[in-house]
Amino acid sequence: MTATPPFKRIALIGLGLIGSSLARGIQQLGLAGELVATDHSPEVRARAVEIKLADRIADDNASAVKDADLVIACVPVGVSGAVAQSIAAHLMPGAIVSDVGSVKASVLRAMAEHLPDNVHFIPAHPVAGTENSGPDSGFAELFSNRWCILTPPDGADAAAVERLAQFWGALGANVEIMQAEHHDLVLAVTSHLPHLIAYTIVGTADELEDVTRSEVLKFSAGGFRDFTRIAASDPTMWRDVFLANKDAVLEMLGAFQEDLSKLTRAIRRGEGDVLFDHFTRTRAIRRGIVSIGQDEAAADFGRKHAALKKVE
């Protein structure tokens, strides 16, 4: 526990993976004098009370944000505008209002439209997650050594931005500041496109006629199962991400389709050197990610392999 919590009252709206991870981290580190949380689903609110995700679970968004000096919306990006509208009239003047949405430019527009001028609106995106959702899926360490990108609008209060950066830093995140549009382009290639590819491959394998579903599952260790983890991600969240980041995703998808055509041509023409050069380049990218500490070097994604038993 810190001596004086940096925020008197933090309000979290939405208690899924990200909201419940924040709740656990805030409580563990004592980042709020009081933590208030809510979710639109009564089942989630009941579960949050049961597992003590906050000091108080409010019945609705408006009452949750009362007197809070930090409010964070942790909801699917498609409802962030509606959430901003539901809290706008109840915010404390001077409060910092933020979010965790995976898309920034459209969320910024959707929320800013409703928020009063006397609060500091600073959107954020912690680039950390898993394929699980719901209040039981969160954990306090989720943001540790991961990036959190802040996209303050032009003219945002520097002190408020710094306060929010300190908050994410306390949770173990490295903070970077970016323009919302640039964020959306970067994330389209590093996150949104990979998810679309995973959703496609897993769907394609499911629809094959000459290979049975049981064979696909049985021999999945050949690479397929690594895509299935990503393709198991929350359908609501990802539907909203693709709709909200349409332009950047379509731009990256165009580049991807061109590269896929090049590789298709190389396979058709038997151009082994083209394939070899491409795969050598991509292997270097994997090593680069490991070398900057964004993943472990453990083989097979750190999976344990069963020990061999000697035949007696």
The reply to whether 85 sits near ligand NAP by the rule CB under 6 A is no
For residue 61, give both structure tokens: 């968004």
Neighbours of 155 (CB within 10 A): 6
Let me know: does 15 contact 104? Beta carbons within 8 Å: no
Candidates 22, 92, 100, 248; binder of ligand NAP (CB under 6 A) is: 100
247 within 8 A of 187, measured Cβ to Cβ: no
- Cα–Cα distance for residue pair 59/254, rounded to 1 Å: 45
Per-residue mark of binding to ligand NAP, 146-185 (x: CB under 6 A): ----------------------------------------
CA distance linking residue 138 with residue 131, whole number of Å: 11
Count the neighbouring beta carbons within 10 Å of the beta carbon of residue 142. Answer: 22
Residue closer to ligand NAP by CB (options 98, 102) is 102
Selected from 5, 134, 169, 172, the binder of ligand NAP by CB under 6 A is 134
Size of the site for ligand NAP (CB under 6 A): 30
Binding window for ligand NAP (CB under 6 A); candidates: 12-20, 89-97, 209-217, 257-265: 12-20
Interface with ligand NAP in residues 15-54 (CB under 6 A): 15-19, 39-41, 44
DSSP assigned state of 48: H
Going by C-alpha positions, the residue among 142, 125, 138 that lies closest to residue 192 is 125
- CA-to-CA separations, 216 to 4, 211, 309, in angstroms, rounded: 55, 7, 27
Question: What is the spatial distance between Cα 276 and Cα 246, in angstroms, rounded to a whole number?
Answer: 33
Q: Is 74 in the site for ligand NAP (CB under 6 A)?
A: yes
Residue 68 beta carbon to ligand NAP: minimum distance, rounded to whole angstroms: 15
User: Nearer to ligand NAP by C-beta: 174 or 271?
Assistant: 174
Judged by CB under 6 A, the residue of 7, 14, 36, 92 near ligand NAP is 14
Query: Min. distance of Cβ 37 from ligand NAP in angstroms?
Result: 10
Does 237 interact with ligand NAP (rule: CB under 6 A)? Answer: yes
Sign of the Cα pseudo-torsion (269, 271, 272, 274, in order): negative
* Residue 81 lies near ligand NAP (rule: CB under 6 A): no
CA dist 143 and 149 (Å) reads 12
Counting contacts by CB under 6 A, is residue 126 touching ligand NAP?
Answer: yes
Which positions touch ligand NAP (CB under 6 A)? 13-19, 39-41, 44, 61, 74-77, 79, 82-83, 100-102, 125-126, 129, 133-134, 234, 237, 241
